[in-house]
Every structure is written in C-alpha cells, then in structure tokens.
Structure 1
C-alpha cells in the first residue's frame, strides 16, 4: 500500500512538472525574406555566371596566379580562420557527446573511524566479520568500479544543440570561403595597382627626359636673348617637380609591393611582374547571371543563412529548459575493507537510479534565456537580409561602374592623343616665337596629367573586373 501511494505521489509531481513547464512565454519569430529582384539594373539576364569560373581561369597573368597560390597557403589571417573551423568542428563533437551516456571508471581507498557512541559506531562494534573476528577499527575502505550517467534527451534539447553547432560549423566554412574570395580580390587589386604605378613611373621618366631637353633649348634661347631668365627658371622648376613626383611614385611602389608580400605571408621582396602588358590589358567580359544565384554563390550570404538556422534551433534549445529533464545514473563495482575480499562475489556493488527535475518557481533566468534566443534569431534575420541586400547592391554598382569606366577610358585616350600632339605643336610654335613658354609648360603639364589619368582609369577598369568577380561570389570554388 505504501508503494502505491509513493507511485501516485511521483505521478502527481511529474504531472505538475510537465504542466508548469508547458506554460512557455508566447514569442513571435520573424520570418526571413529571400526575395530578390529578377535582374540587376533592370537588364536582361541569363543564368551564365562568371562566378562559376575558377579563379585560375578568370585571372590569366602567370605572375598574379603565382602570388594567389602562395597566399592561399601562407596567409596568416586565412590560417587563423582555418583554426576557427577546427574549433567549430570540435564543438560539434562536444555537443554530440552530451546526449550519449558518460561512463567513468575509477578506484578509491580510505580509512574511517566512527565514534563508538553513534549509530554507525555501535553497529560496527557489534558486527563480526567471521565468528570471533570483529570488524577492524579503524575501518579501511577499498573500491573499484564503473559509473555511468545519462541525461535522456526526451525533449531533443541536446540533439538540437548539436544541430545548432553543425550549422555554425558550416557557417565558419563559408566564412573561410568569403575570406578566400576577398583575399584573391585584394591581391589582384594590389597587383594591378602595382602595374599602374610602374607605368606611371615610366611616363614620368620619359617626361623628365622631354622636359630636360626643353630646358636645354630654353637655355640656348636665353643666350641668344630670345627669352629671359624667368623662362629658364620656370622650365627648371618643372623638371624638378617631375623628378620629385618620380620619388613619390617609387615610394608608393615599395609600399604596394609590401602590401602584397604581407597578404602572401612573406617578408618584403621584389614582386615579379611584366608592367608593359598593362596598357594593352582588356577587361574581362563578365556575365552577372541572375540575382537569385547570389544565394548560392556568395559565401557571406550562405554564412548568414547558416547563422540564421543555428539561431532558430537555439530557440528550441532554450524552450526545452522549461521542461523537466530525466537523468539516469548507474554504478557497478567492488567494495570491501580488505583488498583480498574484492574478488569475493559478496563485494559486488551495484546501483541504478533515475530522477526527473524541472523548474517550478522563479523561472526568470530560463525565460530571459528564451527571450534572448528569440531576439538573436530576429537579429540573425536582419543580418541575413542586410547581407543579401549588400551583395545585390555591390553587383549592381560594379556593373554600372564597368560600363561607365569603359566610356571614360575611351574619352581619356582621345584626350591623351590630342595633348600628346599639342606638345609637338607647342614646341614648334615656341621655337618660331609664335607661342610663349607658359603655353609650352601648361601643355606639357596637361599632357602628363592626362597620361596619369588614363593609367588610373585603366587600373580602375581592372579593379572593376576583380570587384565584380568578388561581388558575384567567385574565387572560393
């Protein structure tokens, strides 16, 4: 009868735990919107996408591909991220281990002397191990055995925690892919900037030679009283200014080389390159595909998607804290006051117990954790939509940039041709006293600036081809 009452009491307690646990706070989860426009910049699109190209097929300069190959092995930031992936993978293993039984094996030894006038001491004094042989005092204790504990995952809290860890692990992989994409783009942009600086340096050196020759002519004209000392000084100042510009460009070349060396993961050294091919480079024709392909091609979008999935699962994990947990513990071993008796079957020790514990009063901490999980899920939704929107805008901007840069380059090229011809014309007019020296100086300055602008525009064109490839999600596959 007593057992029946005990079982009834346990049943009532369990029902109370389940009933009170079911009263979880009402929280509305935010749904994610994955809809994107049908095309970029209202242009007709096909599913052909340059992001599907391997970076070795997209970048054909052998010096550039060699740099990228080295960076993918030696870049420190990338290697740090690889360790983060390992940490996330180990976290998955840790979460998996939590819903499996924990089994430990061990042993213990000790000695105890109970007070004579206590319940335990009086029992030991009256107990004989064998007829005529009293219990030892003090009483040694030796034990060896295996012990197991297991939290039964009845609400899938532990399994969901593992699923969340898996989602975050996949997110770190895509984070690494996004870093690879950015690393390749950064090296390519720096490489093209280096080629542009080389060409600007070559232009400056040619202009120094032209201006030096003009200075000598002006000096001769001063001797024949055709010009004054002022003209000589102005031509001399222009030569000095251009020489100063040469050293400025040389410093920028060194800094750009070292930027590339840092990305490649090595100490400063000369970057092998062929700058003469830069002017004749033709920007790669890019196929943008359709915007929906960004969901699969952009690693940062996929990373945000996995982070969102993990955040949703975290809500289920936090919700399970409102429900009672069921634990089972067991032990099997040998225990005796003398090691000799450990081999005796009577020394076998065994136990098996189960417990169910759940929150009943003061669930503020659990409720706060649950609400935080929901807030983080909403935060992850906004982060996903922001990442997707940013990806779309990046592609749209670069497509527009490519078109405008092409038009700008064509006009700049015409400007350079016109000013280059004007240098010869101004020099001839100056020699025949039909133009003053200021016209010659201004023409030379304008021609130099236009050539610099043309090289700068070419560099921006190459940067645009790199940036659109990165924006589409190319480089990591």
Structure 2
C-alpha cells in the first residue's frame, strides 16, 4: 500500500514528486498517535530522501521527427497510375536464359556473402533470445561455504557467545565460536521487475534488428542476382567482341596482303603497306586485351558462384538474350513494400526508437527482487536436516541520482541515433526513386540507341564491301579502305557495348524495384 501511494505521487507528465505533509507521512506509514517524536522524524527523513530520489527521475518528452517530403505519385514514365511492376516477377521468370538461371541458382546456394549474411541473422536472433530472457527471473543453483572468526568484542562474537549460554538451545544449536562455518545449498534468483517497460523496449529493439538483418540478407540476395546477371552479360559481350575482332582480322589481313601485292606491281606505296600493317597489329593487340577481360570476368563470376577460377559454360549469344518486352515500374509507394534496403532502414528506425524508449526509462526507479530457497547451517552434518530449510526474498528499489549525467548522455546518444536512422530512411527512399527513374529512362533511351547503332553497322559493312571491290580496281585509296575497316570495327564493338548496357539497364531496373527477393 505504501509503494502504491508512493508511485501515485508521480504526475503523468513526469514532473517532480511533491513531498507530503507530516500528517500525510503519518497516514502513509500507518503511524499511531502514540509513536515517539524521534521515530517520526527518522521515518520522515527517510521518506523525504526516497521521494527526492524518485522526483529526480525525470525524462524528456519524445522528440518529433522532422517533416518528410512525401513520395511522388508516379515516376512519370510509363503511364501514370499503372500498379504493375516487374519487381513482382520471380527472377526465374524475369531471366529467360536457362544458363543464367542455373548460374544464379548456384550462387544463391554457395555465395559466401550470402552465407555471412545468414550468420548475421543468427546473431540477431541470439540477441532477441537474450533480451527476452532478461524479462524473466534468473535462477541459479548455488552451493557456498564460508568460515569466519569473529572477535570477542564484535557484535556477532558477543551474540554467539551469549547464545551458547542460553538454556533454550540444545547441543546442535550451539554456534562454533573459534571459527564459525556457514554452509548454503539451494537456489538464488534475481528478477528486475519491468515497471516502466525498459526491458521490453530493449527486447523490441532486438526484434527490430533481427527483422532488419533478415531484410539485409534479402538485400544480399537481390545484389547477387543482379551481379551474376551483369557479369554473365559482360561475358557474352566480350565473346561477341572477340568474334567481331576475329572477323575483322580476316578482312584486314586480306587487305594487307592485297596492298603488298599492289606495291610490288607499283600501284601502292610503302606508306600504304605500313598503314595496313599498323591497323592489323592494333587489332591483334585488341584481341589479347579482350581475352584478358574474359579471364577477369570469368573469375569474378566464379567468385560470385562461391568457387575457384574456371571456365564458365555459356552457349547463348548476346543477340539471343531477351528481357521482358514491357518493363513496368508500378507505383513509387510499392518500393516501401518491395525493396529490402527500404524495409531494412524502416526496421532499423523502429529499433532505434525502442532504444530511445529504453534510455528514457532508465531515469525511472528500478525494482529488483532477489528470492532464495535452500538449506543453510553452520555445521555440515546439519545441512540436510529439515530444520535447516530456509527461504526468503529481498526487494530493492533504486533510482539514479549522481549518475544522471551518464544517463543523459545515453539518452542523447539514443536520440541522435534515432534521428540518424530517420534521415537514412528518407535518403534510401529518395535513392530508390532516383534509381528506378534513371533505369526507366535508360531502358527507353538505350533501346533507341541500339536500333540506330545497328543501322550504322549495316551501312558501314556495306562500305567495307564497297571499299574492298574498289581496292581491286584501284579506285579507292588505302586511307579510304583503312577508314572503312576501322569504322566498322569500332561500330561493331560499340554495338556490343551498347547491347550490354541495354541489358544492364533492365537488370538495374529489376533490382531497383526490389526484384529477386526470395
């Protein structure tokens, strides 16, 4: 009853507790008019100190987050209001290449980054179990033995001596006075009663971080899916460029041989021969550069697959790779539900908010109960006697007074961390909308660029054929022939790069929309 009326002195807005009057103190304590003045003053002083301590336990009002810019209604492309999104497609359906699907499946089983992320989830799950256990009493089996020698002029020494002279005790009840043993065997418990929700807030923070770590694992999954696809398309691009270089080498070698023959016939100069030879050497060097890039890309892809370097089987040609014809993005509001990094930031924000609640609750009194039960005796032979059974409970109410500065520092740190998480969440939202918008526009622009570049290649190939015919008849100079061959080579290599970029834009859009989540 006393504690109930004591806690009722706190106002709901957490103002300092008011000290009751002397009459109120007598009423709270159940004092009768006959109690002496010294006892009344001692009780009033003790109660006043306790109330001052409780009144010092103040917390600050929650800090409101700054107003955030709302998400736009649409990306502006394609048609507004379309809720369909390719992010809803499983990666097995988004990618039509069976070879690529097999590589992604292997990576999701063996990738080391993903395995590390899984262990981070397990660590977060263990933290949740630890925080949940803090809400329950801790029970320990205890066995202890102590030996004390009390002086003749100590309270305990005089008490034991006087007790042994009493005629009300028998032989087993006499206390050894030279060295007094103390044996205990039983259970001891400690339980912090979560009056203000501090422990529950810490548990909620741990649960939020567990969910955030699971979203972090999903983020690794989407990254692996995208990176495997990017490296696979890069490898196909390099194969395509290598085939282009080999094909153009044949044309350049033929032109070089023709020029040497024409020089012997007096129809070409040594300068023309040197120019054709230099072009041929440059193309051959490009072949070796391309082969090195193939090796590096294969090794990178193998590492994503969780294995050591080796050749990657890739039967598909770059021109045969297709993505969904309609790359729809849906509504920006769906990013909150689809993208793992957005969900992770949201859950981290909630966890930091729970940490802030726990930091505020640390200013309030903590009630700790320490019960025990077992057997206790000063002779080992009497330890298991029925009369040696003991049990008890101690309750303690503690409130911070001199360590409030450290608590304020913890609260300020939790407040700053919560605001940091809030701004990080807003930044991720802005980043996600930017990535989707860039990828949407990129897909459209690169589609148009690929069409025009293909037309350019067709025209330049005809130009090379025309130049080759004119070379036999002597109507084309060596500079015109070299220019035509170099132009078609650059255009074909550029077309392969552009086609790769087109595919990577589609993958980037799929990833930006949260695609690839298992």
Q: Which runs of 5+ in 2 are unaligned?
A: 1-25, 32-39
1:72 maps onto 2:108 in alignment: yes
Aligned match of 2:202: 161
Question: 2 CA distance for matches of 1:362 and 1:344?
Answer: 46
Q: Report the CA distance between 1:27 and its aligned residue.
A: 5.3
Aligned match of 2:134: 98
1:130 maps onto 2:165 in alignment: no
Question: 2 CA distance for matches of 1:473 and 1:51?
Answer: 5
Change (3 A) 1:444 1:332: same
Question: 2 CA distance for matches of 1:333 and 1:9?
Answer: 37
Change (3 A) 1:355 1:423: same
CA contact (8 A) 1:427 1:440 kept: yes
Paired residue for 2:79, among 5, 30, 44? 44
Change (3 A) 1:393 1:204: same
User: Following superposition of structure 1 onto structure 2, how do residues 165-176 of structure 1 map, counting pairs within 5 Å?
Assistant: 165-176=206-217
Question: 1 CA distance for matches of 2:279 and 2:78?
Answer: 49
Q: Report the CA distance between 1:370 and its aligned residue.
A: 1.3
CA contact (8 A) 2:216 2:341 kept: yes
Q: Which runs of 5+ in 1 are unaligned?
A: none
Question: 1 CA distance for matches of 2:130 and 2:171?
Answer: 54
Aligned match of 1:218: 259
CA contact (8 A) 1:198 1:275 kept: no
User: What is the CA deviation profile of residues 211-236 of structure 1, one whole-angstrom value per residue up to 9, with x for unaligned ones?
Assistant: 11111111221221111222222212
User: What is the CA deviation profile of residues 315-341 of structure 1, one whole-angstrom value per residue up to 9, with x for unaligned ones?
Assistant: 211111111111111111111122221
Change (3 A) 1:456 1:47: same
TM-score by length of 2: 0.87
Q: Aligned to 1:288, what secondary structure does the other structure show? A: coil
Question: 1 CA distance for matches of 2:49 and 2:369?
Answer: 18
Aligned match of 2:273: 232
Question: 1 CA distance for matches of 2:195 and 2:171?
Answer: 52
Question: 2 CA distance for matches of 1:132 and 1:357?
Answer: 40
CA contact (8 A) 2:228 2:301 kept: yes
Q: Aligned to 1:187, what secondary structure does the other structure show? A: helix
Paired residue for 1:110, among 146, 152, 160? 146
Question: 2 CA distance for matches of 1:473 and 1:334?
Answer: 62
User: Following superposition of structure 1 onto structure 2, how do residues 15-26 of structure 1 map, counting pairs within 5 Å?
Assistant: 15-22=51-58, 24-26=59-61
Question: 2 CA distance for matches of 1:13 and 1:298?
Answer: 54
Q: Report the CA distance between 1:123 and its aligned residue.
A: 3.8
Aligned match of 2:12: none
- How many residues get paired? 475
Q: Report the CA distance between 1:151 and its aligned residue.
A: 0.8
Aligned match of 1:209: 250
User: What is the CA deviation profile of residues 327-358 of structure 1, one whole-angstrom value per residue up to 9, with x for unaligned ones?
Assistant: 11111111112222122222122221111111
Paired residue for 2:406, among 338, 362, 365? 365
User: What is the CA deviation profile of residues 223-279 of structure 1, one whole-angstrom value per residue up to 9, with x for unaligned ones?
Assistant: 211112222222122111111110100000000000001111100011010243x11
CA contact (8 A) 2:367 2:396 kept: yes
Structure 1 residues 349-358 or 33-42, which shifts more?
Answer: 33-42
Change (3 A) 1:98 1:132: closer
Q: Aligned to 1:105, what secondary structure does the other structure show? A: strand
Structure number with the bigger relative contact order (C-alpha 8 A, sep ≥ 6) is 1
User: Following superposition of structure 1 onto structure 2, how do residues 16-415 of structure 1 map, counting pairs within 5 Å?
Assistant: 16-22=52-58, 24-26=59-61, 28-31=63-66, 33=68, 35-41=70-76, 43-45=78-80, 46-128=82-164, 130-131=170-171, 135-136=175-176, 137-276=178-317, 278-284=318-324, 285-361=326-402, 363-415=404-456
Structure 1 residues 339-348 or 75-84, which shifts more?
Answer: 339-348
User: What is the CA deviation profile of residues 376-396 of structure 1, one whole-angstrom value per residue up to 9, with x for unaligned ones?
Assistant: 111111111100000000000
User: What is the CA deviation profile of residues 23-80 of structure 1, one whole-angstrom value per residue up to 9, with x for unaligned ones?
Assistant: x234532156372111113542311111111111111211111111111121111111
Structure 1 residues 124-133 or 363-372, which shifts more?
Answer: 124-133
User: What is the CA deviation profile of residues 129-179 of structure 1, one whole-angstrom value per residue up to 9, with x for unaligned ones?
Assistant: 635996444333321011111111010110011011111111111111111
CA contact (8 A) 1:125 1:134 kept: no
Question: 2 CA distance for matches of 1:429 and 1:447?
Answer: 17
Q: Aligned to 2:376, what secondary structure does the other structure show? A: strand
Root mean square deviation of aligned Cα? 2.1
Q: Report the CA distance between 1:117 and its aligned residue.
A: 4.4
